[in-house]
Amino acid sequence: LPLEQDMDILGVELATVQSTDSGPEMHQALQKMQAAAEDAKKSAPYTLQGQAPDSSGMKDYRAGLDQLITQIVVVDKLAVLNKLPEARTEAKKLAEIRNQNHKKFR
Ligand code: HEM
């Protein structure tokens, strides 16, 4: 998918993760987030257009998405255990990772 569509999915599903009272629903939203973040690694942001795929900028961009995926897995482990308060606390870091990377690449 185009990067904007992957980002839109991340936004919609993060809203579900933050608001749901259902462990299975949170898990499903996190799975969609993980797939969108993986797919986003195939794209290049406009701010890095023209840079080679192995440039330091592109490596940093993919590292940001890998950091997001690592945290998605952390939250998901709590969601499948139905530990929703703990999952919500860890989910705050997803928004922090978003903000840090938007400053760099958006
Ligand atoms: C939960 C995490 C994130 C959410 C909810 C999120 C959400 C969004 C949204 C809603 C947009 C606007 C899309 C549009 O124009 O329709 C956007 C744009 C963008 N995001 Fe994210 N984002 C997240 C994480 C990240 C990460 C980790 C990176 C980079 C490592 C990133 C890089 C970008 C870039 C580069 C754009 C501009 C689109 C472009 O250049 O083509 N985002 N994001």
pTM for this model (two decimals): 0.97
Instruction: Name the token pair of 17.
Output: 């993760």
pLDDT of residue 96: 98
Closest residue by CA, ligand 1 atom 33? 106
Positions in the chain whose pLDDT score sits under 70 = none
Cα–Cα distance for residue pair 17/29, rounded to 1 Å: 6
Collect all residues with Cβ–Cβ distance below 8 Å to 63 and sequence separation of at least 6: none
pLDDT of residue 79: 98
Classify the C-alpha dihedral 64-94-40-4 as positive or negative: negative
Cβ atoms of 76 and 33 closer than 8 Å:
no
Atom 5 of ligand 1: nearest residue by CA position: 11
Task: Tell whether ligand 1 has an atom less than 6 A from the beta carbon of residue 65.
Answer: yes
Using a 10 angstrom Cβ sphere, with 0-12 exposed, 13-18 middle and 19 or more buried, the burial of residue 35 is middle
